[in-house]
Amino acid sequence: MLASTAVPSPAPASASSPTDIRAVTNAIFYLLRTGCQWRLLPREFPAWGTVYHYFRIWKNFSGSFSEL
């Protein structure tokens, strides 16, 4: 299954806080691969709260991450 079909499209980003969805996805894969804690996410990725927010949404969306 393609990742583009497993992960729902994001809501339109507001002008005040655009979020790079690819960076969020890379951060989630980094967390899953390394097992690091959410708050210790490296600075190259978006804020841990943003990444966790998208992870919770996608995890509950018909088991998207279990299919990946």
Q: Are 19 and 13 in contact (CB under 8 A)?
A: yes
pLDDT at 67: 62
Among 6-20, 31-45, 52-66, which is the least confidently predicted range? 6-20
Q: Are 64 and 5 in contact (CB under 8 A)?
A: no
pTM (whole model) above 0.75:
no
Of 12, 9, 22, the closest CA to residue 51 belongs to 22
The C-alpha torsion from 65 through 19 and 41 to 58, rounded to 10°, is -20
